[in-house]
C-alpha cells in the first residue's frame, strides 16, 4: 500500500521527546503553586497539547482522511454537551443533593 | 473491477468484498475511529462525574490528592509515552517491510504495558493496606474531609477502567506479536497493527488526562 504516510524516525522520536518535556513541565509547574483556577488551566492546557500531539502524529490524523478527524471532533463535541448540560443542573442547586 | 482473482498482488488477508486492499485498510481504520468515539464517551461519563464533584468539593481534591504518589504517576506517564512511540515504530517497520523490527517494537510495547500495570498494582495495594477503599468501604482517617471516599471512588473507577483497557491492550499486543512472528505482516498488510495502535494511543491519551487530574493537584 504505497499511498500511506510513513513517519520518519526523526518525527516519531521528536514527538516522543516533546511529550516527555511536557510531562516534566506539567509536574514542575505543579510545584509553583499557581492560584486556582490558573493551576487547573495550565495543567489541562499542557494535557490538551500532549493529547493533540499524540492524535496528530502518532494516530496520524495530520496525514489521514479528514473524515476520521471529524469523527474525533464529533465525539469531543458530544462530551462537551454531556458536561455542559450536567453542569447546568449541578452548579445551580441550592444544596448538594444527593448528599454524597 | 469485476474479476479480482486476476490480480496477483493481493495479500492473502485481502477480503473479496472490498474493492481493493486500500479500501479494506481505510474501512477498518474508520471502524476503529468510530469505536474510539464510543470509548471517549464511556470515559466521558466518568470525566463528567469528576468535573461535577470537583466543582462541588474543590478542597477535597487538593487534600486527598496528597495520598497519591506523583513520582510513580509521572513514571507511568513516561512509560505509556514510550509504549506509544514503540507502537508507532512497529507500524513504520511494517510499512518499510522490516519484519524483525515489527516483533521487537511490539515486544517492547508489551513489556512497557506490563511495567505500567505492575506500578499500578503496587499503588493500589499500598492504598488498600492503608484502608483506602472506594465508596462505603473507605476506612482511612488520614484525610480531614468527610467526602474523602468520593475522591477515591472516582480514582478507582477511572484508573480501574483505564487499567482494564491496558490489560486488553496487552492481550492485543500479544496477539499481534504472535502474528508478526508468523510473518503475517508486511508493507502490503498491517491493518491489525495500525488499528490496535490507534486503540493504544487513545489509552495513552486518557492517561495523559488522568495524571494531572488526580496526581497533580498542588
* pLDDT(B109) > 60: yes
* pLDDT over 70 at A99, yes or no: no
Tens digits of per-residue pLDDT, B83-100?
999 999 999 999 999 999
pLDDT number for residue B9: 59
Question: Does the CB of A42 have a partner CB in chain B at under 8 Å?
Answer: no
Q: Note the pLDDT tens digit of each residue in A63-91.
A: 999 999 999 999 999 999 999 999 999 99
Report DSSP state, residue B130. Answer: H
pLDDT at residue A20, rounded to an integer: 97
ipTM for the predicted complex: 0.94
Mean pLDDT of chain B: 93
Q: Which residues of A62-75 are buried (b: 16+ CB within 10 A; e: fewer)?
A: eebeeebbebbeeb
Q: What is the pLDDT of residues B116-160, one digit of tens each?
A: 999 999 999 999 999 999 988 998 988 888 889 999 999 999 999
Please list every residue in chain B whose beta carbon sits closer than 8 Å to the beta carbon of residue A67: 30
Interior angle at CA A69, CA A64 and CA A75, nearest 5:
150
Contacts of A55-59 with CB under 8 Å at 24 or more apart are A55/B201, A55/B205, A57/A7, A57/A11, A57/A12, A57/A15, A58/A12, A58/A15, A58/B84, A58/B85, A58/B87, A58/B88, A58/B197, A58/B201, A58/B204, A59/B197, A59/B198, A59/B201, A59/B202
Inspect the interface and report whether the beta carbons of B36 and A7 lie closer than 8 Å. Answer: no
CB proximity A99 to B under 8 Å? no
This prediction's pTM = 0.93
Task: Decide if pLDDT at B63 tops 70.
Answer: yes
pLDDT band at A100 (very low <50, low <70, confident <90, very high): low
* B52 CA: distance to closest CA in chain A (Å): 7
Residues B208, A47: contact at Cβ < 8 Å? Answer: yes
- Are A72 and B37 inside 8 Å of each other by CB? yes
Instruction: For residue A54, give the nearest of B26, B58, B201 by CB distance.
Output: B201
Residue pair B145/B56 in contact by the 8 Å Cβ criterion: no
Amino acid at each position: 500500500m504505497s499511498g500511506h504516510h510513513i513517519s520518519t524516525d526523526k518525527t516519531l522520536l521528536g514527538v516522543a521527546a516533546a511529550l516527555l518535556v511536557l510531562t516534566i513541565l506539567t509536574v514542575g509547574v505543579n510545584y509553583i503553586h499557581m492560584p486556582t483556577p490558573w493551576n487547573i488551566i495550565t495543567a489541562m492546557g499542557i494535557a490538551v497539547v500532549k493529547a493533540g500531539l499524540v492524535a496528530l502524529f502518532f494516530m496520524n490524523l495530520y496525514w489521514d482522511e479528514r473524515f476520521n478527524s471529524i469523527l474525533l471532533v464529533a465525539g469531543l463535541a458530544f462530551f462537551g454537551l454531556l458536561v455542559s448540560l450536567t453542569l447546568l443542573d449541578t452548579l445551580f442547586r441550592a444544596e448538594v443533593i444527593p448528599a454524597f | 473491477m469485476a474479476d479480482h482473482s486476476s490480480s496477483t498482488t493481493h495479500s492473502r488477508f485481502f477480503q473479496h468484498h472490498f474493492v481493493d486492499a486500500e479500501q479494506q485498510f481505510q474501512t477498518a481504520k474508520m471502524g476503529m475511529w468510530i469505536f474510539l468515539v464510543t470509548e471517549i464517551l464511556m470515559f466521558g461519563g466518568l470525566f463528567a462525574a469528576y468535573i461535577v464533584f470537583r466543582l462541588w468539593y474543590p478542597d477535597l481534591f487538593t487534600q486527598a490528592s496528597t495520598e497519591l504518589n506523583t513520582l510513580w504517576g509521572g513514571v507511568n506517564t513516561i512509560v505509556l509515552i514510550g509504549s506509544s512511540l514503540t507502537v508507532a515504530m512497529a507500524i513504520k517497520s511494517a510499512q518499510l517491510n522490516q519484519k524483525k523490527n515489527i516483533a521487537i517494537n511490539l515486544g517492547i510495547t508489551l513489556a512497557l504495558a506490563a511495567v505500567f500495570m505492575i506500578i499500578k498494582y503496587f499503588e493500589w495495594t499500598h492504598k488498600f493496606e492503608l484502608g483506602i477503599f472506594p465508596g462505603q468501604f473507605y476506612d482511612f482517617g488520614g484525610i480531614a474531609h468527610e467526602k474523602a471516599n468520593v475522591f477515591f471512588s472516582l480514582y478507582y473507577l477511572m484508573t480501574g477502567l483505564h487499567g482494564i483497557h491496558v490489560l486488553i491492550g496487552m492481550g492485543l499486543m500479544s496477539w499481534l506479536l504472535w502474528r508478526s512472528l508468523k510473518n503475517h505482516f508486511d508493507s502490503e498488510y498491517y491493518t491489525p497493527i495500525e488499528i490496535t495502535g490507534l486503540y493504544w494511543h487513545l489509552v495513552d491519551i486518557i492517561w495523559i488526562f488522568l495524571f494531572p487530574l488526580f496526581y497533580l493537584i498542588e
